[in-house]
Structure 1
Amino acid sequence: MTEPTPTRRPRRRRAAALLLAVGAVVTASGTWAAWQSDGSLTQSVSSATVTVNVADAGTGQATWSTGITNLLPGDYFHRWVTVTNTGSVPQAFTGTLSGTATLPGALTAWISSCDVAFAAGSTTCSGSSTNHLGTQATPAALGSLSNLGTINAGASKHLLVRVVFSGTADQTTYQNQASTLTLAFTGTATGGNDRTDG
């Protein structure tokens, strides 16, 4: 008795089953792709405002805008200046005192700041003071101010300026000379800060 020849039907069944499985995956994938949802968030941002105001803080005759005439060797005068950071972020400040023409060659200055406003016409700081150009005892040549530091948004720095005409000024060089003095400030806001929390 001979054994019957094996058939190939099981292979066909396996192939058919495999095709059905693949078809099911494709169908499921297509169904999933149709399930979609959209959402969004908005965030407002703005850049900083960087501005500064330099105001004459004197009263009466002792104001920065008033001209000084008839200086003689050894004479001096005072001026009061308030620097205010009117921007929206802290700024690091630099400053210079300069003059035109010949006269500044015989001028020296002492510039200091006080953490509170000076009383009208007073050269005495009732709080803590810092020298920025020369000292009261030893004024310096006109030039760059040091240690101005950072002024927060909306805050001010109160300055006293004392300008001295040299007691040894040469008459031939400096007699009947005139100059315009300028006290200028630059505020710089520095980036690179973490603004995550506002």
Structure 2
Amino acid sequence: MTTTEPHTSTCPAQRARRRRRAVAALLAVGGVTLVGTGALASWNVSKDAAPSSVAAATAAVEVLPANGMPLTANIANLVPGDFFYRYVDVRNDGSTAAAFTGLVSATGALAPWLDVEVASCPSAWSTGQLGCAGAAGTPVGAAGTVTATGRAVDHGTIQPGSGAVQRLRYKFTFNSTAPSDVQAESSTLSIRVTSTLVGGRDRTGG
């Protein structure tokens, strides 16, 4: 007698369900692969803003002799109570406004007995006590003794350019209380002016 194996058949509904599960599995694997390899597309658009330039400022100062009486002119035979004038123009040769400070100093035995007062004039000085158009000028800093360490003079802020020159007159006085033991002694006078640029300003507008 011949034995026949039972025929196993799959209904269409089962086959459809299997196909759907297989496709879902393939899609899941494919999706993971796409994400992992960065194959998903994206669009980017860029545009540069117009460029601008920035530049650092420069600091420069010029101290010019004026009225034909520079500080380098020597004076001899001073007697207590004598005085003399020296004239200089301070000019800002930098690129922006700056604060200026002067230092008047003296070396030698006469230093403790030399007093100085500084004044400015909006126009050129003429010689003499009232040399600023008939006036004594505007005081710059406080008058006081010239010492070896120097007498500070606050010139304030000076704008750049040749039209913003600060015209100064230095009046030096040999103190009337100078003792007799400084006879025949001498001193050397010097003036130094420093330009200082101070930052911290809002420069958004230029």
Q: TM-score, normalised by structure 2?
A: 0.73
Percent of residue pairs identical: 33
Distance (Å, rounded) in 2 between the aligned partners of 1:174 and 1:191: 47
| Deviation, structure 1 residue 174 | 1.4
Q: Counterpart of 1:182?
A: 190
Counterpart in the other structure of 1:53: 62
Cα distance between partner residues in 2 of 1:196 and 1:167: 56
- Letter of the aligned partner of 1:76 in structure 2? F
Larger Rg, first or second structure (1 or 2) = 2
1:117–1:64 CA distance, 2 compared to 1 (3 A): farther
| Structure 1 unmatched runs, 5+ | 135-139
Q: 1:13 maps to what in 2?
A: 23
Does 71-80 or 123-132 show the bigger shift? 123-132
Distance 1:147 1:100 in 2: 21
Partner Cα separation in structure 2 for residue 93 and residue 37 of structure 1: 48
Structure 2 residue ranges without an equivalent (≥5): 1-10
1:131 is displaced (CA, Å) by 3.3
Q: 1:87 aligns with which of 58, 80, 94?
A: 94
Over residues 104-145 of structure 1, what are the superposed CA-to-partner deviations in whole Å (9 max), with x where a residue is unaligned?
22211111223x1233325433487233131xxxxx211433
Against the structure 1 CA distance between its residues 86 and 67, is the aligned structure 2 distance closer, same or farther, given a 3 Å change threshold? same
Count of residues in correspondence between the two structures: 183
CA distance in structure 2 between the aligned counterparts of 1:186 and 1:20, rounded to whole angstroms: 76
Q: Which residue is equivalent to 1:72? A: 79
Query: 2:112 matched to which residue of 1?
Result: 105
How much has 1:192 moved relative to structure 2?
A: 2.7
User: 1:28, 1:167 → 2: CA distance?
Assistant: 96
Q: Is the 8 A contact 2:108 2:187 kept in 1?
A: yes
